[in-house]
């Protein structure tokens, strides 16, 4: 609730730590003091967002290789690493932009009031400069990919810019987050193959459904505060029917990603690769089902833990798609 506080949060704020960061994270423990406010602004102390941005990239890359293993080269190792570095930088730039636009809202919510801008650790001007530095570094990495992938990367900036404003005008801001966060499935596939096709588009749609699943859980932490300050979300929209909606998003996630696997791998005729990839999709679905069984939308701490567990959920297809490239 707005205005509520507790001793751990007050201690965190006094040290400059962000209230919803994991205690003892590497930024708070090891980063030079002068860099900590900017790293917190980039959410480097909360790496789950980087994982959620990165994992669809790796889905696209490994499924593209599994579809035609003969096209694999050492350059794919750079695509793998470049996506990881780029995800870290662009997630940081995106979060900085989000905090610049949301600074008044963040200051009114207990969980976000300790973020660097509303807490006074970083000025708006400093945040703009920091955002530009991260974006330019990410653009340098993007330029190492082929032209179609570069164009896709540039196009994604439109979604990044729009997202912070979505929650002010629509009950479905999680859709806009999904559009932005899963763009990497399209980009990484294109970086390997040189063109788009139906398979990565299906992965992309599955990723959007997955984002609706995990970010609705995340948004339930702020449901009451959001209602007081007029912020919209699927958590507020669904309310007590959240579990039913999440079950639907779970099914769509599995169906779309599974369809992407079919479209990508059936033409190659490699049954073992197809089975491996399907096991990965099936196992991801079971992980989401486990989250749904545990969910209590009135327990904010549990919602945060379940949200963070989606790193493991998204890694499962990565591992099985990677194995499918080796068959």
Residue range 98-112, pLDDT digits in tens: 899 988 777 667 777
Q: Is 74 exposed, middle or buried (0-12, 13-18, 19+ CB in 10 A)?
A: exposed
| Residue 263, Ramachandran bin (φ over 0: left; ψ between -120 and 50: alpha; else beta) | alpha
Q: 26: which 2 tokens? A: 């590497």
* Whole-prediction pTM: 0.92
The domain 38-326 having CATH identifier 3.30.1330.40: the answer here is no
> How many angstroms separate the Cα of 53 from the Cα of each of 50, 78, 99, 182?
5, 17, 18, 6
CA-CA distance, 313 to 285, in Å (whole number)? Answer: 8
CA-CA distance, 62 to 107, in Å (whole number)? Answer: 41
Q: Quote the pLDDT of residue 180.
A: 96
> Per residue in 186-220, pLDDT tens?
999 999 999 999 999 999 999 999 999 999 999 99
Least Cα distance to 62 among 48, 47, 83 occurs for: 83
CA-CA distance, 51 to 308, in Å (whole number)? Answer: 10
Q: Quote the pLDDT of residue 263.
A: 98
Which position has the token pair 């833990």? 305
Per-block average pLDDT, block size 10, for the chain (327 residues)? 36 63 85 92 92 98 96 96 98 94 77 83 94 97 98 96 91 96 98 97 98 97 85 95 98 98 95 97 98 96 96 98 94
CA-CA distance, 45 to 170, in Å (whole number)? Answer: 29
Q: Is 262 exposed, middle or buried (0-12, 13-18, 19+ CB in 10 A)?
A: middle
Q: Quote the pLDDT of residue 15.
A: 62
Which residues, 6 or more positions from 177, have their beta carbon under 8 angstroms from its beta carbon?
Answer: 163, 166, 211, 215
In the chain, % helix, strand, coil (3-state, to 5) comes to: 80, 0, 20
Q: Quote the pLDDT of residue 7.
A: 39
Domain boundaries, the chain: 38-326
């Amino acid at each position: 609730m707005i205005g509520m506080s507790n001793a751990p949060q007050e201690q965190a704020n006094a040290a400059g730590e962000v209230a919803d960061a994991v205690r003892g994270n590497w930024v708070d423990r090891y980063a030079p003091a002068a860099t900590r406010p900017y790293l917190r602004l980039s959410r480097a102390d909360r790496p789950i967002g980087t994982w959620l941005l990165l994992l669809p990239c790796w889905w696209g890359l490994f499924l593209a290789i599994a579809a035609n293993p003969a096209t694999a080269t050492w350059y794919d190792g750079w695509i793998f690493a470049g996506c990881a570095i780029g995800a870290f930088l662009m997630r940081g730039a995106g979060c900085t932009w989000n905090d610049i636009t949301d600074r008044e809202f963040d200051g009114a919510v207990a969980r976000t009031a300790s973020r660097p801008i509303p807490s006074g650790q970083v000025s708006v001007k400093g945040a703009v400069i920091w955002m530009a530095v991260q974006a330019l570094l990410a653009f340098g990495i993007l330029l190492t990919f082929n032209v179609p992938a570069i164009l896709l990367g540039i196009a994604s900036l439109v979604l990044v810019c729009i997202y912070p404003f979505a929650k002010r005008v629509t009950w479905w801001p999680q859709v806009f987050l999904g559009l932005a966060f899963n763009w990497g499935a399209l980009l990484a596939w294109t970086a390997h193959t040189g063109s788009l096709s139906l398979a990565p588009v299906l992965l992309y749609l599955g990723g959007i459904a997955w984002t609706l699943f995990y970010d609705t859980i995340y948004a339930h932490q702020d449901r009451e505060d959001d209602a007081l300050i007029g912020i919209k979300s699927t958590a507020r929209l669904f309310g007590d029917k959240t579990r039913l909606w999440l079950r639907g998003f779970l099914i769509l996630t599995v169906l779309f990603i599974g369809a992407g696997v079919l479209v990508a791998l059936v033409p190659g005729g490699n049954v073992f690769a197809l089975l491996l990839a399907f096991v990965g999709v099936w196992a991801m679905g079971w992980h989401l089902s486990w989250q749904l069984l545990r969910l209590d939308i009135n327990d904010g701490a549990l919602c945060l833990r379940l949200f963070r567990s989606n790193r493991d959920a998204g890694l499962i297809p990565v591992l099985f798609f990677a194995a499918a490239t080796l068959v």
